[in-house]
Amino acid sequence: MLCTALMSAQEKFTLSGTVSEASSNETLIGVNIIFPELKTGTTTNEYGFYSITLPEGNYEVIISYLGYKSIKETVELSINTSKDFKLTESSEELDEIVITEDVERINIRKPQMSVNALSISTVKQIPVVLGEADVIKSLLLLPGVSSAGEGASGFNVRGGAADQNLILLDEATIFNSSHLFGLFSVFNPDAIKDVKLFKGSIPSRYGGRVSSVLEIFQKEGNNKEFKANGGIGFVASRLLLEGPIKKEKSSFLIGGRASYAHLFLPLFDIENRAYFYDLNTKLNFKINKKNNLFFSGYFGRDVFSINDNFINTYGNSVLNLRWNHLFSDKLFSNLSLIYSDYFYGLELDFVGFLWNSGIQNMNIKYDLKQYVSDKLQINYGLNNTYYIFNPGKIQPSSADSGIIEEQLVKKYANEAAAYIDVQHNVTDKLSLEYGLRLSHFTRLGQEELFVYENNQPVIFDPLTLIYQSAEPIETIARSRNKSITNYTNLEPRLAASYIINNNSSVKASFTRLAQYLHLLSNTSSPTPLDVWTPSGPFVKPQLLNQYALGYFRNIKEGDYSLETEVFYKDLDNRIDYIDGANLIANEAIERVILNGEGRAYGLEILFKKNAGDFTGWLAYTLSKSEQRTPARNANETGINNGQWYNTPYDKTHDISLYGNYKLNEKWSFNTNFIFQTGQPTNYPIGQFEFQGLTIPYYGLRNVERLPNYHRIDIAATLTPRKNADRKLKGEWVFSIYNLYNRRNAASINFRRNQDTGVNEAIRTSIFGIVPAVSYNFKF
Amino acid sequence: MKKTALIITLILSVFNCEDVIEVDIPAEAPRLVVDALIRVDIDDPNFVARVKVSETNSFFGQTTPTGLNQITLINQETNEFQVLLEEEEGSGIYSKMTGTDFFTSGEILLQINYQDEIYLAFTEFVPSAEINSLTQGDGTLFNDDEIEIVVNFTDNQDRTDFYLFDFGFNNYITTEDTFYQNQDFEFSFFYDEGMQEGEDVEIKIMGVDEDLYNYMNLLIEQSGDNFGPFQTPAVTVRGNIINATDIDNIENSNNVNLNDNFALGYFAVVEERKQTITIQ
C-alpha cells in the first residue's frame, strides 16, 4: 500500500506548449499558466513556450494575459502532454458580458523585482508630443525612469547614465535609441510585441550595462491571414504588413515608418531637410514541433542637411538569425547570431571634409532553459561578442580640399560571458532566484598604441591646478589577435521573495554588474555624434552593486496594486572628463579621462488601478544621484576639487500620473501629469573679459538647478461605431501636449548680448503647447 | 571638429524657443584678471606691448579696471626686463615700447604684484603662418544675410601647429593641423554682423601653443551664444597665471591646498599676421 502510494506520488508528467494570439498565431510573452488547486504555475518565455511538470492528475488550468480573455480549462495529465493555447483580445469581444480585465497585475510570488512591463496597447494610448506613439517616452512615466527632457536622447534609470542602459531589440543591442536628436525613439510601435524594463535585480542572462536592461521583442507576423495596419500623423506615417508565407507554418512582417522630408522647412528661410525613416522586418518559420527559425532586421536612419553645406546621417542596423530548438518538453534552447552597428556620418562642405564614425558588433549566444520541476527552473548559456570601434575617419570632400584622408586608429575588443540562473520555489512562501555571470573582456591589439610616462595619460599641473593631456613617450603596434588588457568579473545575482499573505509579499535583491563599453559624452544627455569606446589599459570597466528591497501588494484581488522599492547603488570607475576635454576626433581619449565613482539611492512607489473603465497609475520617485573623481595622489585636487557632485540626471522628486478613461466604445481619454525637480545646472559665480570676449565663469559643478519641470498632456481616441462591420478599422487620436503651455527650461545659458552689450540669462525651452491629430488603421 | 558640435547644436536650436529670464545668481569676491595676450608683428622692430588688468564682478555687474603695484616682463634667457606702466591712471592698461627681439627668443616671465600677492606666468613665443588669400564667397550657412569669407593659408612645415583666428567683432576660431599637415588649407567663415559694401575687414591669424589653444576653445565655448539644449559641463576657465605668494619651495611648492587662490586670464606671446578684405 505504502509502496504504491509513493509510486503514484512520484509519477510526474510534463505539460508543455506555446500560447499564442488566436487570430494571428502571434506567440505571447509572459502569459500566466496557473493551476489554482496546486497553487503553482509558470509563464511563457520570450518565444511563447511554457513547460511545467506536475504529479499525475486532473487539473483546472487558467491561462491569463494582460488585455486578453482568460481561458479556464481542465487538463488530464497522465502522460507527457503537449498543449497549445490560443487567447483572444478582450476588447474584440464587444458584445460579451464585461469580464474583469486581467491586466498588468503584479506577480507577488516571483522573486523578480524592479521590473516594469508595458503593453504595447498602453504605449499607443499614452499622449505624446506630436502624436507619435513612443516606447521610450512612455517608459519615462514609470518610477525610477527619467530623461534630460524634451529633445534629449536616451533615458536614465535609477540615477544612472544613458549609456548604462542595455537596449535589446530581438536580442540585438541598439546603440542609439533616438531619432531627431531624441524627439522620438527608434522603435516603431506597430512592429513591437513586448517591452520590459529591468531597473535592478537583473537576471544573470543579461550583462554588459550597469543600469538597466530594456528588452523589446518584435512581432513575428500573422501566419493565418494577411493583415495591414498603419497610421498617419503630423510627423511621420507608418505602414506594417504581415501575413503567412505558408499558412500556419511561416510568416513575414515588414514595417516601415518615415517622417516628412521638409519637416522643419517653415522654421528656416533657407533650403534644408530633416527626416528619419526606419524599416522593421521579420521572417518566421515553424519547421516542426521542435524547431523554429526567425530572421529579423532593423534599419533606421536620420538625415539632416542644410543648403548642402552640411549633411548629417546616422542610425542603427541590426540583423539576426535565431533558432529555437526543443531538446525535450523540459529543455528549451535558443541559438542567436546577431550583427548590429551604429553609423554616424557628416559632410561639411565649407570646411571641405567628410567624417564617419561608429561601432559594429557580432554576437553569438546560446541560451538554454531547463524546466526541472514546477519548483525549479534553470537557465544557462554562453555569449560572445566581438566589437570593432571606429573613432572616426576623415576624408577630403573634394579634390581641392586641403584635408588629408586619415583613419583614426580603430579599436577591437571581445566580450565573453557564461551564466547560470536558477529560479527556485523553496517553500510555499519563499522563492529564490540566484545566478552567477562570469564575464571576460579582452581589449585586442591595434595599429598604434600610446605609451605614457609613469603610465599616466593625464597629468596635473600643481601650480595652475589644471589637468592636462600628457604627451605619449612612445607609440607601439600590437596585433589584432593579441590581447593587450584583460578584465574578468564574477557577477553574482540574488533575488528572494517571501509571501506574507495571498496579496502581499516582500522582495529583496542584490545585483552586481560589469560594463566594458563607455559612451564618450560630456553633455547632459547623449548626442548622435558621441562615440563608444572600450575599456582598456587606461579606461577601466564600470562595476556596479545594487541592493534593493521592496513591498508588493495586490488590493481588491488585483484591481489595485502597490509596489514600493528602495534601492542603493554604488558604482566604480565611472569615467569623468577633465575640464575642456575634446571628445570628438580625439585619437587618444585616455588623455582626457579620469576614473571616478558614483552612487545613487532612492525610493520608488507605484500605485496602479488595473480594472474598470478608469485605469492608470501614480508613480513617485525620491532619489539622489552623485559622482566624484577624487585626486589620484596628494599633489592633485581631483575633478571638482575631489568633491561629490550631482549628476546631470539627479532628480530629487519625480511624479508621474497616468490615467485612461474609457467612456464608451467610441471614446476613450488619456492624460498624464509629470513633475520633476529641475535638472542640476551651473550658474556663473562671476564674469571676466579677455580679448574683447565676456566670459561667465563657474565654481563647483552642478550646485544650482533649473526650474522644476512639469506639464499635463491629454489625448482622446475616437473609434467610429461603424468599424464593427467594416474590414477597414480606423481610429482617430487627438492630443494636446503641454496643455497649459509651460515653458520648461531645457537649459539656461549666460551670455553677453552683442547688440545691446548687456549680460543676459537665456532660457531655452523646446515644446510649448503642441496639438496633434493622427489616424491609425488596420485591415 | 568643435565646429561640428556647434552646428549640431544650431540645428537643434531650430526646435527651440529662447527667452531672457531673471535668475538669482551667486557671486564671489572680486578676483584679478590679466589679459596678457601679446601679439607680435615680427616685421616691426619695435612695438608697444600691452597688458590689461581688471577685476571680476558678478555676471550681471560690470567688470572694472584695477591698479597693480608692479608689473614686469623678464626674459629668462637674457635676464633683460621691462617694467610696464599704466597708460592712463585708472585705465588698467599697462604698456611699454619694446624691441621685438625681446619676445622672440627665450622663456619670458610675467610678474605681477597686486594687493600684497605675487602672481607669475611663463611663456614662450609661438610663430604663426601666412594668410595666402581672402576671397568673398556667395555661400550662406543659416541665413541669407551672411557674408562668406574664404580663408586660405599654408600650414607650417613638419610641426604640430595650433592657430587662433581673430575675425573681428569678437569672433574667434581655433584650429589645429592634424588633418592638414603641410597643406594649403581653405575654409569658410560666415559673418552675420550686417556689414556694408565697401567696408574693410581685417582678419588675423596667430600661432598658439596647445595650452592656449585649449584655453581659447573654452573661452569661445563659454562666451558663445551658440548653444542649444545640450548642457555642457561648466568649468572655471583657469589660465596659466599662478598665485605664488605662498610658494616658498621649501614647505610649499604647489597650490593644491590653496585651490581657490588664482587669477583669471592668460599670458602668452604670439606671432600675428593679418590681411584685409573689402566687402563687395
pLDDT in tens, B100-138: 999 998 999 999 999 999 999 999 999 999 999 999 988
Nearest neighbour of A404 by CB, restricted to B3, B5, B180: B180
Name chain B contacts of A690, Cβ cutoff 8 Å: 33, 35, 37, 219, 264-266
Q: Which distant-in-sequence residues (6+ apart) come within 8 Å of A479 by Cβ?
A: A445
- pLDDT at A747 exceeding the cut of 70: yes
At position A606, the amino acid (one-letter code) is L
Cβ–Cβ under 8 Å, residues A258 and A275: yes
The dihedral formed by the CA atoms of A532, A536, A540 and A541, expressed in degrees to the nearest 10: 60
Spatial distance between the Cα atoms of B74 and B83, rounded to a whole number of angstroms: 9
- pLDDT at A281 exceeding the cut of 90: yes
**A394/B231 Cβ within 8 A:** no
- pLDDT at A65 exceeding the cut of 90: no
| Greater pLDDT, A400 or B85 | B85
Residues 81-140 of A with CB under 8 A from B: none
Name chain A contacts of B21, Cβ cutoff 8 Å: 748, 761-763
| Greater pLDDT, A726 or A421 | A421
**B63/A688 Cβ within 8 A:** yes
Rounded to a whole number of angstroms, the distance from the CA of B148 to the nearest CA of chain A is 10
What was the ipTM of the complex prediction?
Answer: 0.91
Q: What confidence tens digit (pLDDT) does each residue in A600-636 have?
A: 999 999 999 988 889 899 999 999 999 999 999 888 9
At position A228, the amino acid (one-letter code) is A
Instruction: Identify the closest residue of chain B to A345 by CA–CA distance.
Output: B4
Name chain A contacts of B145, Cβ cutoff 8 Å: none
> Residue A5's pLDDT band (boundaries 50, 70, 90)?
very low
Q: First vs last Cα of chain B: how many Å apart?
A: 30
DSSP for A370-391 reads EEEETTEEEEEEEEEEEEEEEE
Q: In this predicted structure, what is the pLDDT of residue B227?
A: 46
Name chain A contacts of B208, Cβ cutoff 8 Å: none
Residues 252-271 of A with CB under 8 A from B: 264, 267-270
**B144/A693 Cβ within 8 A:** no
The values of phi and psi at residue A144, to 5°, are 80, 0
Stretch A695-711: mean pLDDT: 91
A183 Cβ under 8 Å from any chain B Cβ:
yes
Name chain B contacts of A268, Cβ cutoff 8 Å: 14, 142
Spatial distance between the Cα atoms of B278 and B280, rounded to a whole number of angstroms: 6
Q: What confidence tens digit (pLDDT) does each residue in A508-539 have?
A: 999 999 999 999 887 777 788 888 999 999 99
Q: What confidence tens digit (pLDDT) does each residue in B193-237 have?
A: 778 888 999 999 999 999 999 899 888 888 875 544 455 666 778
Q: Whole-prediction pTM value?
A: 0.89
Q: Hey, what's the cell of A436?
A: 552567477
| Greater pLDDT, A491 or A114 | A491
Q: What is the mean pLDDT of chain A?
A: 88
- pLDDT at A46 exceeding the cut of 60: yes
Q: In this predicted structure, what is the pLDDT of residue A550?
A: 95
Q: What confidence tens digit (pLDDT) does each residue in A168-192 have?
A: 999 999 999 888 877 788 898 889 9
**B8/A527 Cβ within 8 A:** yes
Q: In this predicted structure, what is the pLDDT of residue B233?
A: 65
- pLDDT at A163 exceeding the cut of 80: yes
**A355/B265 Cβ within 8 A:** no
Nearest neighbour of B23 by CB, restricted to A679, A697, A761: A761
Q: In this predicted structure, what is the pLDDT of residue A526?
A: 77
Name chain B contacts of A529, Cβ cutoff 8 Å: 4-5, 8
A74 Cβ under 8 Å from any chain B Cβ:
no
**A304/B223 Cβ within 8 A:** no
Q: In this predicted structure, what is the pLDDT of residue A321?
A: 96
Q: What confidence tens digit (pLDDT) does each residue in A99-123 have?
A: 333 334 457 778 888 888 887 878 8
Instruction: Identify the closest residue of chain A to B166 by CA–CA distance.
Output: A691
